[in-house]
Structure 1
Amino acid sequence: MATVGETLISLLEAHGVDVVFGIPGVHTVELYRGLARSRIRHVTPRHEQGAGFMADGYARASGKPGVAFVITGPGLTNAITAMAQARADSVPMLVISGVNALPTLGKGLGFLHELPDQRGMMEKVALFSHRMEDPAELPEVLHRAFTIFAAERPGPIHIEIPLDMMGRHCPPLAARPVEEMPPSPDEAQLSEIAARAGEASRPLILAGGGARRAGAQLLRVTEKLDAPVVTTANARGLLHDHPLGVHASPSLFAVRELMAGSDFVLAAGTEFGPTDYDMYANGGFVLPANLARIDIDQAQLDRRPAALSIRADCAAALDLLAEKLPASNHRDGAARAAAARAAAFAEIGEEMRGQLAAVEMIRDTLPGALIVGDSTQPIYAANLYYDHDRPGGWFNAATGFGALGFGPPAAIGAAIAEPEATVVCLSGDGGFQFTLTELGAALDAGARVIFVVWNNHGYREIETSMREAGVEPVGVSPAPPDFIGIAAAYRMPAERLTRIDGLPAALRHAHSTGRAALIEILVS
């Protein structure tokens, strides 16, 4: 008979898992017994937070759950930040950890990696946390996890396996196939939305991350309504270079004016989170009264009620809605969208337009690239105003939970998910130092990531905020290392730029190496 650890691996294979990110330890040895003989690839980060961020990037690029193995205690607590980011951005992530032997739990006996209540801690972050107390539970708990990933609003899920169970032999266990589908849209409600939208003279669509895999369906609805489409940061890449696209943040006054002037607003897959809709915390965002919402999560619909709300997968709902809408009556959608784009571009100001130009250089030099960002000034600028050229190809941690250090490991995960894609990580010198050692993981994994470091010698955005608040800046100037020297230590091609106009040539050269490379941009 196989052990519990070996059985877990075979069940993960049955659920389509092909990559696991993790750092083995004495509390997960028995999981690796099955892993070594499986078809699942193992990728070793340099820190468990990196394992979580890699799983996140893998999931966003592939659409499949990212899986991480971590040890009891510190391994799991190191991964919490990544799990919280995944929770904020609805990213499917499965974290499997050890836990100390069942008879010892909660007794404070001082065992290695002991926590007072590990599962209780994880229940505050994960969609659910399950402790294995009987091997027979494995098929059911994995079925529950993969059902959520397939049919509900996804996020991080935690399973812990006690040390005294991992190596125990168990009878053969078969995976329970996932047959559940996302909730089907209500036809009557869709007919009502179609009727209201058809009567509107100034319709508007708001598209969030929940719609990023519904590009074709969104396009049909958009063109039938002749409605401008505002995309949040996690929806960028939809309607690229389309005359109805407004790829600007709803936190901008220009976009808010567009919303206020619309007589019907359809929101698809957006939670109306403040980091998208009120990032300056000025209270200027008002939920439209003439609002219809489509979202897979009933809890999200309940938090911000609309005149009409439909719980459904965005792609399915938009597909049916397109069938119900009459042919376009040629409203002035393109003119409204153009005016909003022009006003938003002017509003972000000269400095941010300069930072945006760097992001556009990356897009235009490497068409179709995945650009994975950290919290840094060019990412902030592009989240405010930027049109990416592929759906799902722009994501970062500067919205939602806002974790620094996300970019490098998430980019590695994305490169492993799409090995033929061009992947660029755009990070600041401060955030890059959070996960700098993952350069080694990129080399180990053969992940062809171009790491672009925006080096402005500290936390410039925070320094600016402190000055604007009348606070003398303190703690915002951590000394950056010699990034080129560090790349050399990892035997990685690297180049330092002092002028932004050298970026296209540097990107082309880095891409030509066919391996991980680093470009540092010194910002005065």
Structure 2
Amino acid sequence: MTTVGEALIALLEAHGVDIVFGIPGVHTVELYRGLAGSRIRHVTPRHEQGAGFMADGYARASGKPGVAFVITGPGLTNTITAMGQARADSVPMLVISGVNATATLGRGLGYLHELPDQQGMMAKVAAFSERITDPARLPAVLARAFDLFRSARPGPVHIEIPLDVMGLPVEAMKPVRSEARPCTPDAVAVSRAVALLDNARRPLILAGGGARNAEAALRLLAERLDAPVVQTANARGLMHGHALAVPASPSLKAVRALMADSDVVLAAGTEFGPTDYDMYGDGGFVVPGQLVRIDIDASQLQRHPATVAMEADCGAALEALALAIDRPKASASGNERAASTRSAAFAEIGPAMQAQVAAVETIRTSLPGAIIVGDSTQPIYAANLYYDHDRRAGWFNAATGFGALGYGPPAAIGAALAVPDAPVVCLTGDGGFQFTLPEIAAALDAQAPVIFIVWNNRGYREIETSMRDVGVEPVGVSPAPPDFCKLADAYGIGSQRLEGPAGLGQALGRARATKKPFLIEISVE
């Protein structure tokens, strides 16, 4: 016999979970009963929001679901923000929480951490939320979560276990396994798409986050079509340095002009969200007329109807298309179209943002193959507009989609634990860093050698600019930053302060050589 909590740990091991991020509490003690004797590593953040963000960063960097353990009530509500970010960016995340004893639920009796309807609240954010009152259901519910991560559009899943169920004795449970896989591309849809693309004179590919694991097929298809490939922020790192790559935002006029000039557009794994396609809110984005869409989510395909819609995994669909177009097209001037768009897009962002992109490029040059995890800060905004990263799935941030400040530091820790051999850099601003600053101590505990770069312009400068642009007197945009280097020293973390980005390359080399967490503060006007 074992307990439900012990059975949970064994089932997670069977599903390949190797790290859990969480803060134990009296409402989750029984979930921890089997953890110490398992192969699963536990990492303790300083706040439950950090647990969720760490799970997010781990998932994006590893391709495996990130898992968080949190207590009922405030522990879970602290995690909702991270779940919202994961939902917006299709990140596989499993959040397992406690909940008060079954007989007390929904009665408003004033128990510790009580909510009126915890599961109902979570169901609004999670892909699905399940309460385990019958322990025999646990293997099937976990299997449903991992099936979703594997075969559908991923996102956060919530499972709650009541206090009176966690410690119940049960017989050892066998994991429920299935062969769930994403939909394969429909042969008729492939033929229709090939007919459009093969006859196109000026084809174009839009690659979103759903294509980030399909680089080989994307490259092959682009070369056979001679089609430029525009990458949204979540697709950066694909086709680095390729003559057909356009690592620029579809919100830029130069990229929109390329789209308007294309006679057939293939959109792979992108939802046409405004934070990618209309970030300035000017309404200038128009869905292409001759459109082929690939998406794993049928509901996404319905939101923007296409000439040909393919419900399938991006990798499988792109490969099917590339194989069907079995020879390179006669020159469609794809390289020239891509080059002119890159040049025009970079010019469009202007000198100030170009300088910020140069700072990001210094990171790439100094630490080849690094994972750069961003918060909402000026260099991230600039690079989301135009920047070519050199590692697939190595550029992600919270400045698109849900847009949660404070994402960067904990997400970078999760990424560093997922890919321990890669350099990991967190690029954050002085404002956003203060949302989750204590998590640098979790990096030290976990021996995660994240390099934290703080772009310190002493306030929320982008918000201040937005206020001034519409004639609003700036209020509340200048929170005083602390001395970040002294705080790093207080945590026992090495640090260096720079006056402007000059010297960043050398500072990164010193930081990487320590093989420990390190903080670089860049003071900018």
Q: Name the CA distance, whole Å, in 2 between partners of 1:179 and 1:201.
A: 41
Write out aligned runs for 1:84-99 (5 A): 84-99=84-99
1:253-286 alpha-carbon deviations (Å, 9 max, x no partner): 1000000000000000000000000000000001
| Counterpart residue number, 1:327 | 327
**Percent of residue pairs identical:** 70
| Counterpart residue number, 1:158 | 158
Q: Name the CA distance, whole Å, in 1 between partners of 2:99 and 2:157.
A: 15
Q: CA deviation at 1:149?
A: 0.2
Q: Name the CA distance, whole Å, in 2 between partners of 1:122 and 1:12.
A: 21
| Counterpart residue number, 1:122 | 122
1:60-100 alpha-carbon deviations (Å, 9 max, x no partner): 00000000000000000000000000000000000000000
1:382-422 alpha-carbon deviations (Å, 9 max, x no partner): 00000000110000000000000000000000000001110
- Tell me the SS of whatever aligns to 2:455: strand
- Tell me the SS of whatever aligns to 1:237: coil
> Considering only aligned residues, what root-mean-square deviation do their CA atoms show, in Å?
0.6
Q: CA deviation at 1:330?
A: 2.0
Which TM-score applies when normalising by structure 2?
Answer: 0.99
1:210 aligns with 2:192: no
| Counterpart residue number, 1:338 | 339
| Counterpart residue number, 1:149 | 149
Letter in 1 for 2:94: L
| Counterpart residue number, 2:49 | 49
Q: Name the CA distance, whole Å, in 2 between partners of 1:211 and 1:282.
A: 27
Letter in 2 for 1:134: D
- Tell me the SS of whatever aligns to 2:78: helix
Letter in 1 for 2:86: A
| Counterpart residue number, 2:75 | 75
- Tell me the SS of whatever aligns to 2:453: strand
Write out aligned runs for 1:414-425 (5 A): 414-425=415-426
1:315-372 alpha-carbon deviations (Å, 9 max, x no partner): 0111111110142212200000011111101111111111111101100110000000
- Tell me the SS of whatever aligns to 1:504: helix
Moved more, 317-326 or 257-266: 317-326
Q: CA deviation at 1:493?
A: 0.8
Letter in 2 for 1:413: G
- Tell me the SS of whatever aligns to 1:91: coil
| Counterpart residue number, 1:477 | 478
| Counterpart residue number, 1:489 | 490
The list of structure 1 runs, each at least 4 consecutive aligned residues, that deviate by more than 6 angstroms after superposition, is: none
Q: CA deviation at 1:177?
A: 1.3
The number of equivalent residue pairs is: 524
Q: Name the CA distance, whole Å, in 1 between partners of 2:326 and 2:181.
A: 28
1:182 aligns with 2:166: no
| Counterpart residue number, 1:349 | 350
Q: Name the CA distance, whole Å, in 1 between partners of 2:72 and 2:63.
A: 28
1:451-485 alpha-carbon deviations (Å, 9 max, x no partner): 00000000000000000010000000000001000
Write out aligned runs for 1:13-32 (5 A): 13-32=13-32
| Counterpart residue number, 2:514 | 513
Q: CA deviation at 1:436?
A: 0.2
Which TM-score applies when normalising by structure 1?
Answer: 1.00
| Counterpart residue number, 1:436 | 437
Q: Name the CA distance, whole Å, in 1 between partners of 2:116 and 2:339.
A: 57
Letter in 1 for 2:131: R
| Counterpart residue number, 1:60 | 60
Q: Is the 8 A contact 1:237 1:393 kept in 2?
A: yes
Letter in 2 for 1:520: E
| Counterpart residue number, 2:192 | 192
| Counterpart residue number, 2:387 | 386
Letter in 2 for 1:141: V
| Counterpart residue number, 1:272 | 272
Structure 2: which 5+ runs fail to align?
A: none
1:5-42 alpha-carbon deviations (Å, 9 max, x no partner): 00000000000000000000000000111111111000
- Tell me the SS of whatever aligns to 1:265: strand
Q: Name the CA distance, whole Å, in 1 between partners of 2:189 and 2:156.
A: 31
| Counterpart residue number, 1:411 | 412
Letter in 1 for 2:85: Q
Structure 1: which 5+ runs fail to align?
A: none
Q: CA deviation at 1:53?
A: 0.1
Letter in 1 for 2:476: G
Letter in 2 for 1:339: S
Write out aligned runs for 1:355-366 (5 A): 355-366=356-367
Letter in 1 for 2:339: A
| Counterpart residue number, 2:109 | 109
Q: Name the CA distance, whole Å, in 1 between partners of 2:187 and 2:235.
A: 26
Q: Name the CA distance, whole Å, in 1 between partners of 2:492 and 2:10.
A: 37
Letter in 2 for 1:440: A
Letter in 2 for 1:227: A
Q: Is the 8 A contact 1:3 1:167 kept in 2?
A: yes
Letter in 2 for 1:359: V
- Tell me the SS of whatever aligns to 1:24: coil
- Tell me the SS of whatever aligns to 2:64: coil
| Counterpart residue number, 1:287 | 287
Q: Name the CA distance, whole Å, in 2 between partners of 1:421 and 1:177.
A: 32
- Tell me the SS of whatever aligns to 2:338: helix
Q: Is the 8 A contact 1:198 1:326 kept in 2?
A: no
Q: Is the 8 A contact 1:146 1:178 kept in 2?
A: no
Q: CA deviation at 1:501?
A: 1.5
1:270-325 alpha-carbon deviations (Å, 9 max, x no partner): 00000000000000001001100000000100111111100000001111111101
- Tell me the SS of whatever aligns to 2:238: strand
Q: CA deviation at 1:499?
A: 3.0
1:221 aligns with 2:218: no
Letter in 2 for 1:60: R
- Tell me the SS of whatever aligns to 1:68: strand
Moved more, 89-98 or 323-332: 323-332
Q: CA deviation at 1:500?
A: 1.4
Q: Name the CA distance, whole Å, in 2 between partners of 1:187 and 1:346.
A: 42
Letter in 2 for 1:106: G
- Tell me the SS of whatever aligns to 1:35: coil
Q: CA deviation at 1:172?
A: 2.0
Q: Name the CA distance, whole Å, in 1 between partners of 2:500 and 2:231.
A: 31
Letter in 2 for 1:6: E
Letter in 2 for 1:122: M
Q: Name the CA distance, whole Å, in 2 between partners of 1:406 and 1:370.
A: 15
Letter in 2 for 1:433: Q
Q: Name the CA distance, whole Å, in 1 between partners of 2:110 and 2:500.
A: 56
Write out aligned runs for 1:249-268 (5 A): 249-268=249-268
Q: Name the CA distance, whole Å, in 2 between partners of 1:346 and 1:385.
A: 10
